[in-house]
């Protein structure tokens, strides 16, 4: 019901303007009853619109530019391009081409890469190619560095905590400010808790590619009820396919403040059904279902972030604010950037959306500048 004041790309405290500077607004915009919400942050997106972040191509940069431009219409103002398990040569070629940058008319901001694998469990590899999986050898952290080539632009690493020597790797990554996520794993609860003690703070797509909840050993899912003092966030693909709405409700009720919506989108997002890629694998898209070709193994999603927000709200019956926070505030807290992104607080970046009551994006703003708007024709 109030005004949002923006100056020089930041959200402004108007008191300073009124009382100290005796100023007023240069430009006024009628938002016509829209909901104004912080821009969405997608911390797990493998590609989209025919672009696959796990394929080393000569024009990788133009691919990442295309995706960052196109996701503005889904309300995403910053993201972590995600690479699935790949041979070292792919990391060595692709990672130097990913640069952390602010968003703008050119597209959503890049917060750093999310490396999902190759240090994951064979039993829960999901759509990751088995021949590229790796374990930690002696000098585990050096091994990881040799595999990836560089950690300069890396923001999140997903690994399986039951692997030998994973504790030292988690400690080293955390020390460098890299978020460690647990996923594609057969870890039991005590292995998962130990990983959290060493600094892991995230769970990659909860319920998918991990042991199902068992009452005698809840596995990674048990981290949702971890005692106070340690915050664990968890990603969920709320597309109506990867997780049953009841599972979404259970997780949300157990730990509402930790839920982070992710798309886990693959190259086929935004394209017609048919065959597409995910790293080294061929993927078959049938409606909203995505499978490794010739199997029934789910592989990423083709859902957009705004669809996930709407589905989450519908499935859980949560408030609009709660649904929006799961795509903005929570991922910002996970990455430790909540002082800049994920809220509409004074002095934070003016990355925000205008949505209608059905939570469809009407316009996207980055640093106070309009970067996308639904045109009058409803295109």
Any known ligand binding at 209? yes
In this prediction, residue 228 carries a pLDDT of 67
> How big is the CA angle at 307 (ends 366 and 114), to the nearest 5 degrees?
65
d(CA 253, CA 303): 23
Any known ligand binding at 46? no
Please check the confidence at residue 379 and state whether its pLDDT lies above 80: no
Q: Give the CB-side neighbour count of residue 11, counting CA atoms within 13 A.
A: 22
Please check the confidence at residue 378 and state whether its pLDDT lies above 60: no
Whole-number percent of the chain with pLDDT over 70: 98
Encode pLDDT of 274-291 as tens digits: 999 999 999 999 888 899
Is the Cα dihedral 194, 200, 202, 208 positive or negative?
negative
- Picking from 19, 33, 41, the residue whose alpha carbon sits closest to that of residue 348 is 41
* pLDDT average, residue stretch 325-348: 98
What is the pLDDT of the chain when averaged over all its residues?
A: 94
> How big is the CA angle at 119 (ends 117 and 125), to the nearest 5 degrees?
65
Based on the residue annotation, tell me whether 264 is a catalytic residue of this protein: yes
Encode pLDDT of 108-127 as tens digits: 999 999 999 999 999 999 99
| Reported pTM | 0.96
Residues 6+ away with beta carbon under 8 Å from 130: 122
Confidence of residue 344 (pLDDT cuts 50, 70, 90): very high
d(CA 180, CA 48): 24
d(CA 348, CA 338): 8
Please check the confidence at residue 315 and state whether its pLDDT lies above 50: yes
Please check the confidence at residue 18 and state whether its pLDDT lies above 90: no
Residue 252: cis peptide before it, omega within 30 degrees of 0: no
Q: Which of 264, 306, 349, 351 is catalytic?
A: 264
Whether 112 contacts 159, CB under 8 Å: no
* pLDDT average, residue stretch 257-264: 97
Whether 13 contacts 347, CB under 8 Å: yes
Encode pLDDT of 44-96 as tens digits: 999 999 999 999 998 899 999 999 999 999 999 999 999 999 999 999 999 99
179-182 and 154-159: which strand pairing?
Answer: parallel
CATH 3.40.225.10 fits 38-346, yes or no: no
d(CA 169, CA 178): 11
Query: Within a 10 A sphere around the Cβ of 103, how many other Cβ atoms?
Result: 26
Any known ligand binding at 86? no
In this prediction, residue 17 carries a pLDDT of 83
Any known ligand binding at 311? no
Please check the confidence at residue 226 and state whether its pLDDT lies above 90: no
Any known ligand binding at 350? no
In this prediction, residue 302 carries a pLDDT of 93
Please check the confidence at residue 377 and state whether its pLDDT lies above 50: no
d(CA 346, CA 2): 14
154-159 and 352-355: which strand pairing?
Answer: unpaired
């Amino acid at each position: 019901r109030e005004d949002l004041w923006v100056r020089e790309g930041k959200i402004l405290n108007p008191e300073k303007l009124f009382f100290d500077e005796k100023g007023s607004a240069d430009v006024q915009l009628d938002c016509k009853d829209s909901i104004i919400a912080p821009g969405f942050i997608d911390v797990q997106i493998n590609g989209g619109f025919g672009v696959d972040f796990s394929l080393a191509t000569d024009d990788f940069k133009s691919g990442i530019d295309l995706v960052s431009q196109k996701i503005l219409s889904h309300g995403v103002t910053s993201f972590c391009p995600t690479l699935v398990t790949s041979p070292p040569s792919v990391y060595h070629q692709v990672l130097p081409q990913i640069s952390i940058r602010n968003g703008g008319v050119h597209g959503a901001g890049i917060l750093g890469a999310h490396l999902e694998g190759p240090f994951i469990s064979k039993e829960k590899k999901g759509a990751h190619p088995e021949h590229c999986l790796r374990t930690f050898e002696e000098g585990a952290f050096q091994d990881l560095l040799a595999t990836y080539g560089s950690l300069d632009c890396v923001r999140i690493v997903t690994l399986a905590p039951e692997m030998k020597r994973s504790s030292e790797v988690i400690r080293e990554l955390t020390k460098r400010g890299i978020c460690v996520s647990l996923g594609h794993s057969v870890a039991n609860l005590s292995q998962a808790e130990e990983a959290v003690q060493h600094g892991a703070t995230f769970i990659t797509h909860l319920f998918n590619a991990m042991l199902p909840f068992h009452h005698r050993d809840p596995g990674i899912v048990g981290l949702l009820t971890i005692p106070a003092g340690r915050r664990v966030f968890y990603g969920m693909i709320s597309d109506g396919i990867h997780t049953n709405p009841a599972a979404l409700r259970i997780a949300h009720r157990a730990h509402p403040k930790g839920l982070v919506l992710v798309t886990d989108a693959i190259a086929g997002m935004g394209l017609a059904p048919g065959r597409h890629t995910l790293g080294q694998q061929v993927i078959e898209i049938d409606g909203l279902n995505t499978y490794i070709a010739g199997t029934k193994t789910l592989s990423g999603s083709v859902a957009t972030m705004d669809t996930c927000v709407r589905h989450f709200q519908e499935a859980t019956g949560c408030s609009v604010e709660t649904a929006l926070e799961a795509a903005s505030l929570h991922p910002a807290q996970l990455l430790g950037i909540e002082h800049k992104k994920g809220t509409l607080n004074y002095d934070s970046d003016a990355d925000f959306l205008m949505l209608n009551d059905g939570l469809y994006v009407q316009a996207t703003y980055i640093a106070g500048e309009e970067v996308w708007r639904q045109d009058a024709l409803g295109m």
